[in-house]
Amino acid sequence: MNAIVDHVIEDARWQTFGLQAASERAALAVVAELGLEPDLYQMVIMGCDDARIAGLNTEFRDKPVPTNVLSWPSEERGSEFAGEAPDLPEPGSVDDPAHLGDIAIAWETCAREAAEQGKPMEDHVVHLIVHGILHLLGYDHIDDADAELMEATEVRILARLGIADPY
């Protein structure tokens, strides 16, 4: 089996934390929930710090502040109707998996949020990665109906992993 996630570790704290295992766990749960074959899809997850993600947030969203997670889908996959699940992406092959996109996650913001919310860091990080992967797959939360669908999907995936409802 190919790894569904390629990792770029820019902050060594993510290596110590075990970002690779947490993100693989999250990715496999997402594809299982949606009925996708993990060997046919690929994504990149970068573990970075607040300074790096603030730069990315400035560059791509014109928001010069750190955030917990950012995602860049490889293509637009959203549904044209509010509250409707996006179409599933076309699979690649075992030798050439379809690239879903890229995700960046910031250490300091994640650690601070987990502490403030009284959650285990592992649970918070897995939730944020699930959230980011759903964005890669066309889910969003701008519209209320889309937010309800995305949150319900996240809650089901997290329950699969034994993680409490974060909402």
Residue 127 contacts residue 163 (beta carbons within 8 Å): yes
Helix %, strand %, coil % for the chain, to 5? 50, 15, 35
DSSP state of 40: G
Residue 99 known to bind ligand = no
User: SS3 of 99, please?
Assistant: strand
Query: Is 131 annotated for ligand binding?
Result: yes
Residue 117's Cβ-count burial label (10 Å; 0-12, 13-18, 19+) is exposed
Helix (H) or strand (E) holding 95: none
Q: Is 135 annotated as a binding residue?
A: yes
Beta-ladder partners of 70:
104
Rounded CA separation 97/85 (Å): 22
> Which positions make up the binding site?
131, 135, 141
> Which positions make up the binding site for Zn(2+)?
131, 135, 141
